[in-house]
Amino acid sequence: MSLNSLRDAFGREITYLRLSVTDRCDLRCAYCMAEEMRFLPKREVLTLEELERLAGAFIERGVKKIRITGGEPLVRRDVMTLFGKLGSRLGRGLDELTLTTNGTQLARHAKDLKAAGVERINISLDTLDDEKFRKLTRRNALSQVLAGIEAAQEAGLKIKINTVALKDLNRAELPSMIEWAHGRGMELTLIEIMPLGEIEEDRFDQYLPLSEAMSDLETRWTLEGIDKRTGGPARYMRVAETGGVIGFITPLTNNFCAGCNRVRVTCTGQIYMCLGHSDRLDLRAALRGDNPHEALNAALDQAMLKKPERHHFEIAEPGTAPALDRHMSVTGG
Ligand code: SAM
Ligand code: SF4
């Protein structure tokens, strides 16, 4: 069997894996989860050892960057052992190991993450207002998140704040959040809400096109386009007045699929070739069956053939049904 790099039918090379290690979370962000979520039974979820072997198979096929995500990855028990194991692959096939987190558990883990070789992390934070945070996440944990951010900075981790732009909740607050982040040497990336999974609210009521957010910001600041490409979907601008950088991720207003270099694997070992499609393949069966090495590589070859060219998200009008019945917490952000 050939162990070629992972290349899809449109010639895109896949070098980036987003690996979800749990579907569980200690917050309940209104756009991501329902208040009453039913989480997966433990036997369905890959063990840490299986996650490590799976990541190893991707590294063998040319994946250079792994982002650990969830659910909330840091609520998974003993997750640091996985960071330790994957960290030992850095410089041996793997170039970067990173994490997307809500920050609540960071104060405990920041030093160990840095020791494992993690250099940069993304922290999701949509408001700096206690009351709004509680309303959005249905938990009272803003001070915990802020302590986590401080601990991560002390540990020497570089931080990017990810903020979902929400019409009612944080539109007016975005400039002060950007000032706060830039004042602490952190980049901030704005994200458009995506129609993933059923939630209690109508997404049209929350959806703020980033073109509108950008117009707001331009009335206050000078935004300078900068040529910073990370291989990902974000476009970047520098704020002349703060010297800091804002990223814009616009899955709805500006499709970004042509340069896609990534796939996502859920904590049950389902590989999703595109965030915006339901098509998936079961890697867990390969991992748990006979000849797992061969079976996994065959499944990865098959997955490459099935990666679609692009997604088609839309929140055109009130009552728009979700594009997919899968929540972001399933595939990981
Ligand atoms: N719990 C971690 C966190 O919040 O960073 C990691 C997983 S979370 C699913 C990853 C990212 O997805 C977060 O930045 C979150 O804001 C974003 N997200 C969740 N649901 C979304 C949606 N429907 N549209 C856009 N972003 C979403
Ligand atoms: Fe949890 Fe992250 Fe989803 Fe919020 S966005 S509910 S923190 S998984």
Considering the domain boundaries, does residue 206 fall inside one?
A: yes
Does residue 8 lie within any of the structural domains? no
Does a structural domain hold residue 197?
Answer: yes
Cα within 13 Å of Cα(173), Cβ side:
19
Q: Does residue 6 lie in a domain region?
A: no
Nearest Cα residue to atom 5 of ligand 1: 101
Ligand 2 mutation pick, 18, 28, 32, max ligand atoms within 8 A of CB: 32
When pLDDT is averaged across residues 56-65 and rounded to a whole number, the result is 97
pLDDT, mean of residues 89-100: 98
Ligand 1 touching residue 32 (CB < 6 A): yes
User: In this predicted structure, what is the pLDDT of residue 1?
Assistant: 44
Q: How confident is the model at residue 128 (pLDDT cuts 50, 70, 90)?
A: very high
Number of H helices, E strands in the chain: 11, 12
The CA 328 to ligand 2 mean position distance, Å, reads: 8
The share of the chain scoring above pLDDT 70, in percent, equals 86
Averaged over 155-162, what is the pLDDT? 98
How confident is the model over 7-13, as a mean pLDDT? Answer: 88
Specify if 1 maps to a domain: no
How does pLDDT run across 321-333, given as a tens digit for each residue? 555 556 666 655 5
In a domain, residue 43? The reply is: yes
- Indicate whether residue 87 lines ligand 2 (CB < 6 A): no
Tell me, what CATH number does 155's domain have?
3.20.20.70
Q: Whose CA is nearest to atom 12 of ligand 1?
A: 333
Q: What is the mean pLDDT of the chain?
A: 89
How many Å lie between the centroid of ligand 1 and the Cα of residue 247?
A: 16
On whether residue 123 sits in a domain, the answer given is: yes
Q: How confident is the model at residue 250 (pLDDT cuts 50, 70, 90)?
A: confident
**pLDDT of 10 above 90:** no
Domain assignment present for 272: yes
DSSP β-ladder status, 65-69 and 16-20: parallel
| Pairing label, strands 16-20, 262-265 | parallel
Domain count, the chain: 1
pTM summary value: 0.91
pLDDT of the residue at 196: 63
Question: 66: part of which helix (H) or strand (E)?
Answer: strand 65-69
The ligand 2 atom at the shortest distance from the C-alpha of residue 329 is 8
* Alpha helices in 88-222, H assignment, sequence order: 106-116, 130-137, 142-154, 174-183, 203-206, 210-218
